[in-house]
Amino acid sequence: MTSKLENISNDDIPLTISTQLEHLCHINISQKPTQHRKTSIICTIGPACNTVQKLQEMIAKGMNIARLNFSHGSHELHAQTIQNIREALRNENDMKDIAIALDTKGPEIRTGIIETVSF
């Protein structure tokens, strides 16, 4: 008698698995273990690559974290870049999560009330 797990083929597993949970859900205990990427790909987003099309390409290639360097550029430019990242994610067929890292300039102390924004 064969179990249902033995009938699962590699064709049933998606080519890209983007989260640890998704990886765990696709584990087949009757096959050899596979490697799951445990590192993130961080991409610094600047004027040369902040278009929706370029961001979609970067997401498709495996970008997990979009880094914005606040030492350069204006707040308006970075706000537009964040909107472009969100637009690129909306256009993706896969539901992926992309973190946005803000690299602030220098050793300044920043405190205050954070404005509430709805997405």
Q: Helix or strand or coil: residue 65?
A: strand
pLDDT band at 19 (very low <50, low <70, confident <90, very high): confident
84 part of a folded domain:
yes
List, for residues 26-77, the tens digit of each pLDDT value.
788 787 766 666 788 999 999 999 999 999 999 988 899 999 998 888 889 9
93 part of a folded domain:
yes
50 part of a folded domain:
yes
pLDDT band at 5 (very low <50, low <70, confident <90, very high): very low
9 part of a folded domain:
no
The C-alpha angle 73, 115, 112, rounded to 5 degrees, equals 85
Q: What percent of the chain is modeled with pLDDT above 70?
A: 79
**What pLDDT is recorded for position 44?**
96
52 part of a folded domain:
yes
Supply the pTM of this predicted model. Answer: 0.60
28 part of a folded domain:
no
Say if CB 55 and CB 45 are below 8 A apart: yes
44 part of a folded domain:
yes
Domain count, the chain: 1
Six-digit token string for 63: 């970008």
Say if CB 95 and CB 18 are below 8 A apart: no
Q: Which of 98, 82, 95 is nearest to 16 (CA)?
A: 95
75 part of a folded domain:
yes
Q: Containing domain of residue 66, as a range?
A: 40-103
